[in-house]
Chain A
Amino acid sequence: MNISKTFKDGALTIALQGRLDTTTAPLLEQELQASLDGVTALRFDFAQLEYISSAGLRVLLTSQKQMNKQGTMVVCNVNETIGEVFEITGFSDVLTIE
């Protein structure tokens, strides 16, 4: 999985490429722990993300809880497989999906 970050004026966009699974979720978690200070608008761009497993959901949930305290978080460009994962798990109600 590749992680690319764009930060400007408190807005952080994180674009993921590949698979957010058990082996790669810890990388995203570390990246977020190092990056969320001072962020008021967090955007995940999943255009190049193939799929997400529950390990990835865990990181998104942690991130959502953090952003609930300091700003907003949206997830955009979700493919069909990932959209279905969000529906099945009820994450479509917890996350803001654009």
Chain B
Amino acid sequence: MPQITVKAAIENLPAVTSFVDEMLEANGCGMKALMQLNIAVDELFSNIAHYAYPGGAGEVTVTAAFDAPQRLFVLTFTDSGIPYNPLDREDPDITLSAEERQIGGLGIMMVRKTMDGMTYEYTDGHNILTISKKI
């Protein structure tokens, strides 16, 4: 399966986004799903870059798979940082005024609502986060 491994740092987000875009474009992904997947990549990659390795930089591997008959695109983010399940987090209150608003948690909520599937497991010292979407 195609994959890319980079240091978990924000400056590597464009490389991961390009990797995903190439795969999506090669498989005839529509613009809306492409944008939603770009947003998902931003949210998940930046979470790992910000929080997975508090002591220093580790790596992230992003693996892409496409099930052509189902038109299902699957992306897996694997890191060996501190265990963290983003699905455990409660959705933020989205009815508050501008003054009371918090941004934390909004990104993951967006990903959950725009993808068709999202799973997390912690195995052999790795956080493995998988998202899937029909394209």
Contact = CB atoms under 8 A, between A and B. Distances in A.
A50 interface: yes
Nearest to B33: A81
Residue of B36, B98, B101 contacting most chain A CB atoms (<10 Å): B98
Contacts, number: 69
Main secondary structure of the interface of B (DSSP, over half): helix
B110 interface: yes
Contacts of A57: 103, 106
Contacts of B39: 21, 51-53, 81, 85
B130 interface: no
Contact-residue bracket for chain B: 20 to 34
Interface of A: 19, 21-23, 50-55, 57-58, 61, 64-65, 68, 80-81, 84-85, 88-90, 93-94
30 contacts: A19-B38, A21-B13, A22-B13, A22-B42, A22-B45, A22-B46, A23-B13, A50-B38, A51-B38, A53-B39, A53-B43, A53-B107, A54-B43, A54-B106, A54-B107, A54-B110, A55-B42, A55-B46, A55-B107, A57-B103, A57-B106, A61-B98, A65-B98, A68-B99, A81-B36, A88-B110, A88-B114, A89-B94, A89-B106, A94-B98
